[in-house]
Structure 1
Amino acid sequence: MEAAPGGSPAPAVEAPAPQPEAQTLEPRSVSAKRGEDRRAGRLSFCTKVCYGIGGVPNQVASSAMAFYLQLFLLDVAQIPAAQVSLVLFGGRVSGAAADPVAGFFISRSRRTGSGQLMPWVLGCMPFTALAYFFLWYLPPFTNLRGLWYMTFYCLFQALSTFFQVPYTALTMLLTPSPRERDSATAYRMTMEMAGTLLGAAAHGLIVSGAHGPHSCEDAEFPGPGAVSPHATCLYSVAAAAVAVTYPVCGGLLCLGVKERPDPSAPASSQGMSFLAGLGLTIRHPPYLKLVISFLFISAAVQVEQSYLVLFCTHASQLHDHVQSLVLTILVSAVLSTPLWEWVLQRFGKRMSAFGICVMVPFVILLAAVPTAPVAYVVAFVSGVSIALSLLLPWSMLPDMVDDFQLQHQHGPGIETIFYSSYVFFTKLSGAGALGISTLSLEFAGYEAGACKQAEQVVVTLKVLIGAVPTCMILTGLCILMVGPGPKVPSQDSSHQLSLRRRTSYSLAAS
């Protein structure tokens, strides 16, 4: 070592000797470290399943409401269509408004022994279950029923938002690996599809005796009649069955899933404020494009689900096929979700988005030819497309977060803001779509509780089931395909992101 600076040629010959050794040792240590990171980032099958089960209750409840709430409010509670429009619009707006509020309070909350997100998830579940039950309860008074359902629908939407925002954002804290996050998202979507199937099936089977041609045949006149006590009892039983899923699935989520915060982030890290982070996210072009496109696509799916039962009941001779058609949609959605996950990995997420428009010609065909064979084909294809429309945005959101972090290295990760703002905008679009479409039934002359509706109502339902979703889906896909997509980080880049990431749940509020 002392002879090296001397300038003799001997050390010059000996100097390169240790250099190859250093070059060979360093890649080995780096590769070993990367192997450990990959193993540490892998999620067990049990963790993925328990994580997916946590999202089941909200999907069970949302599925029952999507297919049967309008029918319950119009024909069982017998609220005028204009009031139903206000109930649906007000509830969705309250849920949308709760998203940024949830993100703000979650960002200010402190980490506990069970994590920072899990207390929010578990704490909201019992209150959400109660709000859901009273949403389907028929109060003894008649004059203020609209206010009753508005109150509990708003409560349910707000409480379910305070559950859903931390639950979906938990994806970013399960593992730093993008592939494992996509896998966990696929598990979650599969379990949520199963929950959607369970909710519509259980609720539909229980309340099937409350609707049907026999109720009109037994009526003395085809107009609005008295509320059946049997129907109200069936809806209360169905609501109780759905509400029970909240504590059961919440317990499994708590037992099987643990948060994994970034170990490099100090407990008291000070990041950007919530409002500042929100301003940055909505100016991020890939994220903005994703949000705008799925404003239309998600609204189309909600309109399609909400008016299918009403269409079959009042605009076609498919009364006896309602339950079977709903189950066909949901079964095809559940079975196609793993297939779509493979398609996303094989062909890319943007190219796979074209699968959503498969349902377009079929819904138009159903509106034109409302027969049973056509209806079942449309139900199957619609389920396949709906599965992709639900899986795709949640699979693309982690890529948006990583792309944002690659471009904004000065601040911490802001996963909560990404997830909460996305849900906020999609709920807001659904509120507008359902509110306006239900109000159109009022203008068409819909009579609450009537067995036969006017011809204008039938035409309106055909437009709502065919033309409206078609225009929305095509518009959303055109927006999604414009411009380049986000850069998906490699495994090495994702490791660097995990070292640099400061979780959004420790953001300091302004």
Structure 2
Amino acid sequence: LAEGEAPYSTPTATLLVACSLVSWLQEKPGLPLWRKVCYAVGGIPYQMTGNAIGFFLQIFLLDVARVEPFHASLIIFLGRAWDAVTDPAIGFLVSKSPRRKYGKLVPWIACSMPFGVLCYCMMWSTLSDATPTSLKFLWYLFTYSFFQTCMTCHHVPYSSLTMFLGGTQRDRDSATAYRMGMEVFSTLLGSGIQGQIVGSYHARMMNGCYVSNETLPNTTTSLTDSLENTRRAYVFASLVLGSIYCLSCLILIFGVREQPGPLSPLGKVELPFASCLRMVVGHKPYTQLLCGFLFASLAFQITQGIFAFFCTHAAGLAGKFQHLVLIMLVTASVCVPFWQWFLGRFGKKTAVMHNFLAFVFLVIMAGCSMAVSAGTGVGATDTSVGLSVPRSMLPDTVDDFMLRNPSCLNLEALFYSFYVFFNKFAGGLAVGISTLSLHPAAVPGAPLLYLK
């Protein structure tokens, strides 16, 4: 090598690594179907709990937990900001962790599972009405932030596990497709279960508010009872989803074994954090992927966060928004095979442009309450593309980086953690601002919901 030339930048080294990769893939046996299914099931907790939180956390804090709008916005913003900050930190710790008897990634998932389930159930429980406002704020901020940390310890190793399933490149693509389908199903599972359990109680609570506007002295007790029933419904829903969370992790832990490869030896990263960060962020295809989907992800998160509140207080659909959530997620599940075919037939950029047009149509339709169902169905196509395109492009950028830098391996966890870092932080900022905007507005029923 010439003096000062990086060893990983030589074309000869890249060619040797590529040849060894081809030889390894030809000799590697295929990945069995049951292992693909076990891997796909492991993606249920992140999407299931994330969508349940995205659809219902704001309305839970404002209408059920009786948290002030300003404090609710701070909880969501600080929680997501903390989640975004911990992503690269956890990714680096995973990369630095050594390979042990049960693997390098699976132990992270196993150790974070009990704490994640506990914090999720605690997050949906309510404190006494006599609890000081500051204590309420600290309770929900702590449980939300710690749960997000547990989910990061689950999701970063799980996402990186894609590179260590074994088999051929075709097997990895097939496992990714199974994962995408299971994650769409998990969004339906989480939002559907929680929506069906708590949706009717929200409708009764709103009806009690409207009736008590006319007969306030006689309906305070019934309104309080309705609020308590809604709180119990949220606790029951959290127990159901927590049980599914635990079962999915157990299937993943006992059904998947990590398999090292020529470009993914499951070793320990020796470079310092600053050097790893500079190399990952400096990879141009990866940076372009981050920038391309940043604003699309923000738009979807904002819509998801205010959807339940919009249906309850603006569109007059307090008892029907859980059915609209089902329409959205079922349509998204049906659209996944179509968008997979579309990606292969017309390319990923064309699919993204059609996705943006569909979302613009959704925003226009949302202004008309008579067309909310139609707009929800159209918006489901945005969900399908949002799940399909990034996951199909991210492994390509990781492979490209490894081929260009064959001496800088074991950075998969950093790639997957930095990918969600910017989206999470900006998404928390956007959702926090949208919640804060409710503070000066006259929210229907708010004086009654805060009635002592």
TM-score range, shorter chain: 0.7 to 0.9
CA contact (8 A) 1:363 1:378 kept: yes
- CA distance change for structure 1 residues 46 and 38 in 2, over 3 Å: closer, same or farther? farther
Deviation at 1:361, TM superposition (A): 3.7
1:460 is matched with which residue?
none
More contact order relative to length (CA 8 Å, sep ≥ 6): 2
CA contact (8 A) 1:126 1:246 kept: no
| Counterpart among 410, 423, 427 of residue 424 in structure 2 | 427
Deviation string 1:284-335 (CA, Å, 9 cap, x unpaired) is 1211111122221111111111111111111112223211110001111112
Match of 1:196 among 187, 191, 208: 187
Distance verdict in 2 for CA 1:267–1:385, change over 3 Å: closer
Match of 1:206 among 197, 202, 206: 197
Secondary structure (helix, strand or coil) at the match of 1:320 reads: coil
Structure 1 residues 352 and 43: CA distance shift in structure 2, 3 A: farther
The amino acid across from 1:234 in the alignment is A
CA distance change for structure 1 residues 451 and 229 in 2, over 3 Å: closer, same or farther? closer
- The residue number in structure 1 matching 2:290 is 291
Three-state SS of the structure 1 residue aligned to 2:446 is coil
Q: Distance in 2 between matches of 1:432 and 1:84?
A: 13
Alpha-carbon distance, 1:168 to partner: 0.5
* TM, length-normalised to structure 2: 0.86
| Equivalent position of 2:49 in the other structure | 61
Change (3 A) 1:321 1:260: same
CA distance in 2, matches of 1:301, 1:327: 16
Q: Tell me the residue number matched to 1:110.
A: 98
Q: Distance in 2 between matches of 1:448 and 1:314?
A: 9
| 1:216 matched residue in structure 2 | 209
Tell me the amino acid that sits aligned with residue 193 of structure 2: A
Residue in structure 2 matched with residue 506 of structure 1 by the alignment: none
Q: What is the CA–CA distance in structure 2 between the aligned matches of 1:219 and 1:39, rounded to whole Å?
A: 73
CA deviation digits over 1:154-177, x for unaligned, max 9? 111111011100001111112474
| CA displacement at 1:234 relative to structure 2 | 0.8
Aligned positions of 1:482-497 closer than 5 A: none
Contact 1:81-1:446 at 8 Å conserved across structures: no
The answer for the alignment partner of 2:15 in structure 1 is none
1:196 shift after superposition: 0.8
Q: Cα 1:79–1:47, aligned 2, differ >3 Å: closer, same or farther?
A: same
Q: Displacement, 1:216? A: 2.3
Unaligned segments of structure 1, at least 5 residues: 1-30, 453-510
Q: What's 1:415 paired with?
A: 412
Aligned to 1:44: 32
Aligned length: 419
Aligned: 1:377 with 2:374: yes
8 Å contact from structure 1 (residues 79, 448) kept in 2: no
Aligned to 2:178: 187
**Structure 1's 435 and 34: CA in aligned 2 closer, same or farther, altered over 3 A?**
closer
Letter in 1 for 2:365: L
Q: Deviations over 1:446-484 (max 9, x none)?
A: 4773579xxxxxxxxxxxxxxxxxxxxxxxxxxxxxxxx
Provide the residue aligned with 2:88 in structure 1.
100
1:156-211 CA-partner distances (Å, limit 9, x unpaired): 11110111000011111124744433322221111011111011111111112321
CA contact (8 A) 1:75 1:450 kept: no
Aligned to 2:12: none
The 8 Å contact of residues 41 and 176 in structure 1, kept in 2 or not, is answered as yes
- Mapped to 1, the partners of 2:264 and 2:180 lie a distance apart of 30
State the 1:370 CA deviation.
Answer: 1.3
- TM-aligned CA deviation for residue 383 of structure 1: 1.0
Query: What's the RMSD between the two structures over aligned residues?
Result: 2.5
> Normalized against structure 1, the TM-score is what?
0.77
Larger gyration radius, structure 1 or structure 2: 1
Aligned pairs for 1:438-453 within 5 A: 438-446=435-443, 449-450=446-447
Per the TM alignment, residue 126 of structure 1 is displaced from its structure 2 partner at its CA by: 1.0
SS of 2:28's partner is helix
The alpha-carbon deviation at position 70 of structure 1 amounts to 0.6
- C-alpha distance 270-208 of structure 1, shift in aligned 2 (>3 A): closer
Letter in 1 for 2:200: G
